[in-house]
Structure 1
Amino acid sequence: MIPSQLTRPGSRMDAEMRQQPEVLAALAERWAVLTAQVAALSGGTAPLGVAFLARGSSDHAALLGRYAVELTTGLPTCLVAPSLATAYGKAPTGLRGWLLVALSQSGRTPEIVDLSRRYAAAGAKVIAVTNDGASELAGAAHLSIPLDAGPELAVPATKTVTGQLLAVLAIAAGLAPGYLTQAQAAALPNAVSGVLADTDAPERAARLLAAHNRLAVVGRGACYPAALEGALKLQETTGLMAHGWSTADFRHGPIAVCGPDAPALLLAGSGPADTDTLDVRNALAERRAPILLAGTAPGADLPWPALGHLGECIPATVRAQQLALATARSLGVDPDRPTGLNKVTLTS
């Protein structure tokens, strides 16, 4: 990176985004080991169910994990509501034979660490997904999957998020051998490299978003977690009122927020649920809402390659990161230092 780039707003976020192919490649190289560790955790017996525990961006990775586990195993899954224990005082029960996947980029969020210990005491097997393999969360788990992404200093999480997305797919593959192969995982770094190499598309799209103060980010299936993460990245880097929606839920009322002054960012890959997102363009056009399309369809404003599996959530998420960075710069905001935000939120 040349000296002028080092002082440009968002230079830290940009640098960490560009490390993602390397982080993903290292995880893909460990694929066989990771999936075998997950399979061995339950001693050859499938868990009764899988629960995911997370906050913030990690919660979006947890949602992808829920999709992947339900799709590949048919096991009941859920997203844990931490406040039931921390605020309402409800002790976890009935979890013997379950698997808990706890996600925290820092591994230091007090409620995630505390609940992981409580779930383990209640009989659940705990997998920790964290960037720090020596963190409290890793120590509270039966199995730790460290991302080993290196220090992440920009407030908006980037490389740790996509690392978590790939890690939860590895967990699903460990529970359902053959679901996502090592070769498919190894193809993701190149897909992300191609997305990162295209900076013109997000800069063009950012000019549209910078002219508005609110927008909807919409996706379904593999793209739903990316839509939620994309909305969060736009919120924290730009201050825009961005909200993520499932396409199905979006049709049930929230589409009313879109119009000439409120655009929609649609994320649609090559999966069976993505046709619904493409179809919503007609309803948005009737409302004269500006539309940005990110995905695999011909003519997409923000394209990524068709992969044919839930791993498309990863390049979709990277496209959203690029758009957030470019929009912040267009607005003259430094996304490395969002107002009033800290790198680690110590929720308890």
Structure 2
Amino acid sequence: MSAPPATLMGAEMAEQPAVLARLAARFDQISEQVAGLYVGGVPGVAFVARGSSDHAALLGRYAVELYTGLPTCLVAPSLTTAYAHRPSGFAGWLVVALSQSGRTPEIVSLAREFRAVGASVVAISNDGSSELARAADLSIALDAGPERAVPATKTVTAQMLAVLAVAGGLGSTGLRGDEVAQIPDAVGTVLADQHAISEVATELAGTDRMAVVGRGFCYPAALETALKLQETTGVMAHGFSTADFRHGPIAVCGPDSPAVLLAGSGPADQDTATLRPELTRRGAASTLIGTAPEARVSWPALGHAGECLLATVRGQQLALARCHALGVDPDQPSGLSKVTLTH
């Protein structure tokens, strides 16, 4: 079998262990900087983002709620940008604004608006000199290097690690140094293991719709995997929380609509694995990816939130391998551009 063609997406995915290692070396420093904004306490934490950044934000929300118990939310940007609602109720809050480029007008304007009403704003972007960085009280630069492929990969996992550092600065029960240090090497292990995920991608190449399901720290990865499948190959892929999936969306799965299940080693993950008998009764094929012995494709069991990054990388591999199976160029998805300038 001939090797798949070289792509920018594949090359940028391969950079992730090095990108994450550099960020892991700054993890404690970032947490300390965030803690400096937290002096005196904050009533709550809000995240604002779009697209892939929103999935990293969701991981941040889970981590902050778990590690600190603080009220935490994902902001609805349109309430301010379209409805002209002034977010005065967020005075005193910590607001984390995420944009890979740091140039999305909507996110930049929201950062300024939140800061104007008295919130402390943390910006997470790849460029430490971006408009978003300049609009914030604290800028966390991912420094992942140029990302030229339209599907974001290395900046997404870097954002995920950055929000875990933010959560660590707000509470005393976040990731420890040894746990953070595990993540880059674990991502490298996942990237080196491509055969099984390529087989799954080939099997899924003929379907035009599928569900991607996860719970807890795998839920953001499920959403991100579905997005990568959508934007690279145009498949009607949808990401679901396992709990929400049981409340009705499971009905979309059947003989022509398979499910990809992401389940790691956390307390919520076994619930995802137990979907398989119900999917079988519906005639739907399912592929379990994760840490269970019966998983078709695996990732290292870390036992903490860092597994979200490993699940996300498996999703990137699935999307890229499906592109190869279909003869699609993942670097230039139809009708998409690298920076989406929402207002």
Partner Cα distance (1:186, 1:328) in 2: 32
CA-to-partner distance for each residue in 1:99-143, whole Å, 9 max, x for gaps? 000000000000100010000000000000000000000000000
Q: Which amino acid aligns with 1:83?
A: S
TM-score under structure 1 length normalisation: 0.97
Instruction: Pick from 20, 24, 28 the counterpart of residue 20 of structure 2.
Output: 24
CA apart distance, 1:178: 4.2
- CA–CA distance in structure 2, aligned partners of residues 95 and 101 of structure 1: 12
* Local SS of the residue matching 1:262: coil
User: 2:41, 2:331 → 1: CA distance?
Assistant: 43
Q: Which ranges of structure 2 fall in alignment gaps of 5 or more residues?
A: none
Aligned-pair identity in percent equals: 67
Bigger Cα displacement from structure 2, 316-325 vs 27-36:
27-36
Determine the C-alpha separation between the residues in 2 that align with 1:169 and 1:45: 21
Name the aligned partner's letter for residue 311 of structure 1.
Answer: G
Aligned partner of 1:331 in structure 2 is 326
Contact 2:68 2:172 in 1 (8 A): no
The match for 2:96 is 101
The CA RMSD over aligned residues, in Å, is 1.1
Following superposition, the deviation at residue 94 of structure 1 comes to: 1.8
Quick one: distance in 2 between partners of 1:46 and 1:218? 36
Superposed counterparts of 1:1-348, under 5 Å: 9=5, 11-42=7-38, 44-348=39-343
Q: Alignment partner of 1:196: what SS?
A: helix
The one-letter amino acid paired with 2:18 is E
The alignment's TM-score, normalised by the length of structure 2, stands at 0.98
Report the alpha carbon displacement of residue 45 of structure 1 after superposing the two structures with TM.
Answer: 2.1
Structure 1, unmatched stretches of 5+, are: none
In structure 2, what residue type is equivalent to 1:248? A
Which deviations, in whole Å up to 9, do the C-alpha atoms of 1:64-120 show, x marking residues without a partner? 000000001110011111111111111111222100000000000001000100000
CA deviation map 1:240-291 (0-9, x unaligned): 1000000001011111111111100000000000011011111101011111
- The size of the alignment, in residue pairs, is 342
Q: CA deviation at 1:10?
A: 5.8
Cα shift readout 1:127-169 (whole Å, capped 9, x = no counterpart): 0000000000000000000000000000000000000000000
Task: Output the CA distance in 2 between the equivalents of 1:150 and 1:267.
Answer: 29
